[in-house]
Chain A
Amino acid sequence: MSRAQSRAGSTAPFANVPVYVVALLLTVIVLVPIGFVVLGGFRTTGQIAADPVGLPDPWVRHNYVSVLTSSAFWRQLGNSMIVAAIATGLVVSVSAMAAYPLSRMQFRGREALFVFFTFGLLFPVAVAALPLYLLLRQLGLLESLLGVALPEAAFAIPITIIILRPFMRAIPAELEDAAAMDGCGRFGFFLLVLVPLSQPALVTVTILSVITSWNNFILPLLVLTDPSKWTLPLGVAQYSSEHSADTAAILAFTTLSMVPALLFFLAAQRRIVGGLSGAVKG
C-alpha cells in the first residue's frame, strides 16, 4: 500500500460534469444494441433489409402483437417461470444452509468440503450432458420441468455458496454469542439472525440464479422435447429458425423474451442497493 502514497494527490477529485459525460457515453454503448432490437421489432423486415440503421418508418405493431397473441409465447413464459422458481428456491435455501457451517462452524474437513463445492464451478453443463441425460431418464424426470430445475440448482450451488460464505463470515461473532445467550439453538440463529442479516447477499444470489436459469439453453434442450414444456430460450431458438427470414419478427420475440428478466431485475435491484449496512456495521 505504501506505493500508493507516491501517486497520491496528483489527481483532482472528480467533478460532476465529466462523471455525467462518462456515464452518458457508457449508457449509449449499453443501450444502442438493446434499442436496436426493441426498435427493430417495430419495423418490417423489408425496412431492416433496406436500411439496417434507420428508425421505424412507419411504425408497425404487428410483430409484437402476433407474438403477444400466440399461446406458445405465454406457455413458454410460464414454463420458464416455474423452472426458475423451483431452481432458485432450491439452490438458495440449500446453499444458505450449507454456507452457514462452511463459514461459521469449526469442523474437520471444512475447507476440503468448501473446495469440493467449488469444483462444480469448473464444469460447464455440456461436459456432463450425456450422463446427465441418462440419469434423468432413470429417474423418470425427462420431459418434466423438474428435470430441468434440479440439475440447474445443482450446477448453481458452487457460485451461490462462494458468494454467501464471505457475507456470512462477516457477521460479527458477538451476535452469535448473544443469540446463544438468548437460548437460540444453531437453527434458531440461522433462521433468526443469519438469514435476515445476509439478506443483501441472498438477494444477489437469488437474482443471479433466476437469471442463469432464465437464460439456460442446453439443459432444457436435452430434457424437454415436447413443445408444450419448452422454456423461452428454446422458444427463441425455434422461433428464429421458423422465421429465419423475418428479422423483425425475431427481434420482436427476442425483445419480449428479455422483458421479464429485465423487469425482475428492476424490481429486485433496489434490495441490493438497500444495503449491506446492517450486516457490516452492526
Chain B
Amino acid sequence: MFLAPAVALYVIFLIVPVVQAVRYSTYDWNGLGALSDFVGLDNYREAFGDPAFRQAMEHNGILVALSLVFQLPLALGVALLLNRRMRGRGLLRVVFFAPYVLSEAITAVIFLQLLQPDGLVDEILRGMGLGALVQLWLADLGLVFYTLFVVITWKYIGFAIILFLAGLQGVPDELHEAAAMDGASSWQSLRLVTLPLLGPTIRIWAFLTIIGSIQLFDIVWIMTLGGPAGASSTMATYMVDQGVNSYRIGYATSVAVILFAVCFVFSILYQVFVLRRDVRGGTTRMAG
C-alpha cells in the first residue's frame, strides 16, 4: 500500500523502457525500419571485440579509482573543516556546494573557456611564474582524461561534502566531549569516533560515485566528444557515438546493456560485501 505508487511509477517509466532496450540490443537496427534483423548476441560480441570500447571501459575503471583515491579524502577533509564552529561556515558550505548545483552543460562551457590555449588557466600559471607547466589540457592525448577528472571533481565534490556533513550531524557532540575528557586528541577523536560513525555515509557515497563514474557522459561529451581519437572516451560516450551519430540503435543499446551489467554486478557485490554491514550498523549506532 505504501509501496504501490513508487512501484507503479518506477515500473512504467523505467523498467518497461529498459526491458524494451534490452530487446533492441539483440537486433541489428538503425532505428528506422522494422525490428526484423535478429542477430542474437552478435552486438555484444562485437562490442567486446572493439578496441575502442575496451579503451572506453578502461577509462571508466581509471575514473573509479581516481575518484575514490582523491575525492574521498578531499571531501572528508572539507566536511570536517566545515563541521567545526568557525566564522563564515554557512557561507563556505554554500560556496563548496555551488558547482554541484550548476548543470553539466554549464560546467563544461565554463571549463572549455578556461582551458583553451592561452585561456585563464594558462594565464594564471604564467602569472605565477609557472609558465613551464602550461599544457594542451584538452588536446594532449595523454593528459586530456586527467584534465576532465579535475573538472569532474570540481563539479561533484560538493555532493560528497554535503553528504558527509549530513552524516557528521549524526555524530553526537557528547561523544567528542567524552573522548576529549578521556584525553583523546582531535586526531584520535576523528579516527575513533567520527570515521566509524560516518562509515555508512561514506559507503553510500562510494557506491554512488562508482556508479556515476561508470555512467559518466555529459561533461565529457560537451568538452571533448570523447576525443581526441578516443583518448577521453567513456562507455556512455561510445554508446551515444554509436547510437546518435552512426544510427546503430541496436548496437548502441547492447553497449547500454553492458554498461548496465557492469553496474549491476558491481552493485550486487557491493551490497553483499560492503553495504550489508550497515544493516547491523544502523541499530548499533542508535545504541551509542
Q: How far is the CA of A11 from the CA of B13 in the complex (A)?
A: 52
Complex contact B12–A4 (CB within 8 A)? no
Given the known inter-chain contacts A135-B16, A269-B93, please indicate yes or no for A276 contacting B267, CB distance below 8 A. Answer: no
Q: Report the minimum CB–CB distance from B243 to chain A (whole Å).
A: 8
Given the known inter-chain contacts A30-B154, A155-B14, A280-B170, please indicate yes or no for A90 contacting B9, CB distance below 8 A. Answer: yes
Q: Of B18, B103, B268, which is in contact with the most chain A CB atoms at under 10 Å from its CB?
A: B103
A55 at the interface (CB under 8 A from B): no
Q: Please report whether the interface of chain B is mostly helix, strand, loop or mixed according to DSSP.
A: helix
B: interface residue count bin: 35 or more
Q: Report the minimum CB–CB distance from A177 to chain B (whole Å).
A: 14
Q: Once A and B bind, how many residue pairs between them come within 8 Å at the CB atom? A: 264
From the candidates B187, B188, B204, B215, name the one contacting A124 in the complex (CB within 8 A).
B215
Complex contact B93–A128 (CB within 8 A)? no
Flag the segment in B36-44, B52-60, B118-126 that touches A.
B118-126
Complex contact A154–B93 (CB within 8 A)? no
Chain B 104-135 interface residues, beta-carbon cutoff 8 Å to A: 104-106, 109-111, 113-114, 116, 118-120, 123-124
Complex contact B18–A258 (CB within 8 A)? no
Q: How far is the CA of A97 from the CA of B110 in the complex (A)?
A: 39
- In the complex, chain A residues whose CB is within 8 Å of the CB of B119: 52
B100 at the interface (CB under 8 A from A): yes
From the candidates A159, A162, A170, A272, name the one contacting B286 in the complex (CB within 8 A).
A170
- In the complex, chain A residues whose CB is within 8 Å of the CB of B188: 4-5, 8-9
Q: How far is the CA of A162 from the CA of B267 in the complex (A)?
A: 13
B224 at the interface (CB under 8 A from A): no
B256 at the interface (CB under 8 A from A): yes
Complex contact B169–A276 (CB within 8 A)? yes
B142 at the interface (CB under 8 A from A): no
Given the known inter-chain contacts A52-B118, A128-B21, please indicate yes or no for A269 contacting B13, CB distance below 8 A. Answer: no
Given the known inter-chain contacts A53-B120, A166-B200, please indicate yes or no for A98 contacting B3, CB distance below 8 A. Answer: yes
- In the complex, chain B residues whose CB is within 8 Å of the CB of A153: 9, 13
Complex contact B10–A8 (CB within 8 A)? no
Given the known inter-chain contacts A126-B256, A127-B253, please indicate yes or no for A233 contacting B217, CB distance below 8 A. Answer: no
Q: How far is the CA of A1 from the CA of B196 in the complex (A)?
A: 8
From the candidates A115, A128, A281, name the one contacting B14 in the complex (CB within 8 A).
A128
Q: Report the minimum CB–CB distance from B235 to chain A (whole Å).
A: 10
- In the complex, chain B residues whose CB is within 8 Å of the CB of A265: 94, 97-98, 101
B136 at the interface (CB under 8 A from A): no
Q: Report the minimum CB–CB distance from A258 to chain B (whole Å).
A: 5
Flag the segment in A15-23, A61-69, A71-79 that touches B.
A15-23
Given A157-B6, A237-B105, list of 20 further CB < 8 A pairs? A1-B196, A4-B192, A9-B185, A20-B86, A30-B154, A33-B111, A97-B3, A120-B14, A121-B267, A122-B263, A127-B18, A130-B21, A155-B13, A170-B282, A204-B162, A215-B103, A240-B109, A265-B101, A269-B94, A272-B165
Can you list 8 residue pairs at the A/B interface with Cβ under 8 Å?
A1-B196, A11-B187, A36-B120, A128-B20, A170-B282, A217-B103, A251-B113, A258-B101
* A residues whose Cβ falls under 8 Å from a Cβ of B: 1, 4-5, 7-14, 16, 19-20, 22-23, 26-27, 29-34, 36-37, 40, 52-53, 90, 93-95, 97-98, 100-102, 113, 115, 117-124, 126-128, 130-132, 134-135, 150-151, 153-155, 157, 159, 161-163, 166, 169-170, 172, 186, 190, 200-201, 204, 211, 214-215, 217, 233, 236-237, 240, 247, 250-251, 254, 257-258, 261-262, 265-266, 269-270, 272-273, 275-277, 280-281
